[in-house]
Structure 1
């Protein structure tokens, strides 16, 4: 039974998940470093920078004190940007106890080490990675806080931990499935942001629906290919964390990755795009990580590679698309190596 949960930090997705929990009568302590944001949430029940026009439940109380946020909580939900996860986890370690459920909803990698977020958290907390649960799936914060029907997946190496997370979040508008493929769910949630950037770029260039449909389809094959080589179950990429999250992120103006890609496609330079967004665009950091992963695992990721050239080597977006269209002829079924295919079919 959950009576209190701590959510770290108070961005759009963290606030949306806090709202899901508050609707279930759970007292939510929403941690932020920003005192002005804390006062706005506590006094006005609003978080205007991230979720404008939304009234928040009185069950949500913000604090800048990590100890206060975590004290007495049965669950801790980590929703920090990927670049801040290690630092926030290090702070959490002082107050975390092993009976607390730990869920993260961060879609990215630690860029420097290429480690998945659950690995980073478990290293800092000093626990087994199986203690960590990842929450992912097609879920815009702007719709969740309005109680639009939403379905997500929670994954853990330990089934009991996933079931605890399912019980924590599930209500009559927020449906939660469980999955044992922690690796696949994390990889799918992170890598789809790259394809969403590409989809936005295609729209910004005015290339139409045909191009975007092809980009999403081939992008899913690319994600699956690297995912399977890293130990994921290929079926995960056909589920909520894979194709579900890919579709919602790559086709909606709610998506900051799609919006950033669209601006790049219109010819805006990356620094100007980032300044105009005002929020973290995880797909940009993930593109850099994926480019390195592609070389490390010897897996072709042509979409990620061309996006890397656009983001970090100043290649014009139109040139990147031309490079993709002009690649050597391939068969559509080249998703994974023969060795890996045999592994999954024996």
Structure 2
């Protein structure tokens, strides 16, 4: 029987545990907080995120011992914010993941290092790209909890591994498909969070759907420019792993990046918005990483740079978006 370790206790980790356990996959679920583990063991639900989902403890094994959770699992799903990944994995030796397949459910970059999660795993833990997968949407955890029809793309250099993992996820409300563009999926996931921040900021400022449509259209050009500069390989950005993931993050009420941006547009400071949300908006860290990368690339990326100036240089959102909109067609 397949055994999967899920690292993280947030909403996306909770949704993935739901999918896997309902497919009768044995899941070792690592959570940092011992109180959350005890709550799960007693009441069969996560007290902090998507608490309406009840778990069958025949298949779900919550614990705080990270090494134990990983030891018996073939698949290791990483579902903690990128900014905290290094801290979470500090107790592990660099040979811990030997012969295991790592699956990143993280849509962000490692801050300050400005590298993708897959690159971090290869550099830090010697995990080859052929033993890594990434999960792409469009798919919000809250809709998984409601069992709304959802689609996932599993990216990997090894399509057989991607297909194997797809089979663990497929059920009556989740369709999963393999794709070999692992880096393209990761970078697109990073970029779409930045665009969702911009959409939220504009919504908070009172801009309507017409303007947001223009913003997203221009964003696709910006994403394409960036991806082509990083790795110029043929890819269809109209696919659900690219455009679909962007649209759901830019428009959905469940998007934490859009929510965060909306608060900034309404006048919240970064710190006050982070405090009130009590969740991590990956785009906040990602925009700094992409900004630093673009110092070398020197690409025309007006949306990314506008979001960076608003969040990190404290430029007025109203002023910055006024300048940005003049660049749109």
TM class by shorter-chain length? Answer: over 0.9
Tell me the secondary structure at the aligned position of residue 176 of structure 1: strand
Query: Are the aligned partners of 1:86 and 1:124 in contact in 2 as well (CA < 8 Å)?
Result: no
Contact 1:153–1:176 at 8 Å: present in 2 too? yes
The answer on whether the counterparts of 1:155 and 1:179 sit within 8 Å (CA) in structure 2 is yes
User: Displacement of 1:97 after TM fit?
Assistant: 4.7
In the TM superposition, what are the counterparts of 1:62-101 in structure 2 within 5 Å?
Answer: 62-93=62-93, 96-101=96-101
Check conservation: 1:78, 1:103, Cα contact below 8 A: yes
TM-score (norm 2): 0.94
Specify the alignment match of 2:230 in structure 1.
230
SS of the aligned residue for 1:103 comes to strand
CA distance in 2, matches of 1:15, 1:95: 27
Paired with 1:232 and 1:243, the residues of 2 have a C-alpha distance of: 18
Cα separation, 1, equivalents of 2:98 and 2:273: 41
- In structure 2, relative to structure 1, the CA distance for the partners of 1:304 and 1:90 (3 Å cut) is same
What does residue range 1-346 of structure 1 map to in structure 2 within 5 Å? 2-58=1-57, 59-93=59-93, 96-231=96-231, 233=233, 235-327=235-327
CA deviation string 1:287-324 (max 9, x = no partner): 11111122221211100101111101111111111111
The Cα of 1:211 is off from its aligned counterpart by 0.8
The C-alpha deviation readout for 1:10-33, integer Å capped at 9, x for no partner, is 111011111110011011111011
Q: Deviations over 1:155-193 (max 9, x none)?
A: 111222212222222222211111111110000111100
Worse-matched range after superposition: 93-102 or 45-54: 93-102
Verify the 8 A CA contact 2:100 2:131 in the aligned structure 1.
Answer: no
Partners in 2 of 1:159 and 1:91 — Cα distance? 31
Taking a change above 3 Å as real, the CA distance of residues 14 and 300 of structure 1, as seen in their structure-2 partners, is: same
CA RMSD of aligned residues (A): 1.7
Shift of 1:250: 0.8
Shift of 1:234: 5.2
The alignment of Structure 1 onto Structure 2 pairs a total of residues equal to: 328
Counterpart-to-counterpart distance in 1, 2:92 and 2:193: 27
Contact 1:40 1:46 in 2 (8 A): yes
Is the 8 Å Cα contact of residues 71 and 95 (structure 1) preserved in structure 2? no
Q: Contact 2:94–2:124 at 8 Å: present in 1 too?
A: no
SS of 1:318's partner is helix
8 Å CA contact 2:122, 2:128 repeated in 1: yes
Task: Give, in angstroms, the shift of residue 118 of structure 1.
Answer: 0.5
Q: What's the offset of the Cα at 1:79?
A: 0.9
CA contact (8 A) 2:105 2:136 kept: yes
Aligned counterparts of 1:93 and 1:278: Cα–Cα separation in 2: 31
Structure 2: runs of 5+ lacking an equivalent: none
Kindly state the Cα deviation for residue 52 of structure 1 after the two structures are TM-superposed: 3.2
Deviates more, 1:250-259 or 1:86-95: 86-95
> 3-state SS of the aligned residue for 2:47?
coil
The range that moved more, 190-199 or 141-150, is: 141-150
Pairwise CA distance, 1:9 = 0.9
Q: Which residue of 2 aligns with 1:343?
A: none
Measured at CA, do residues 163 and 253 of structure 1 come closer, stay the same or move farther in structure 2, by a change above 3 Å?
A: same
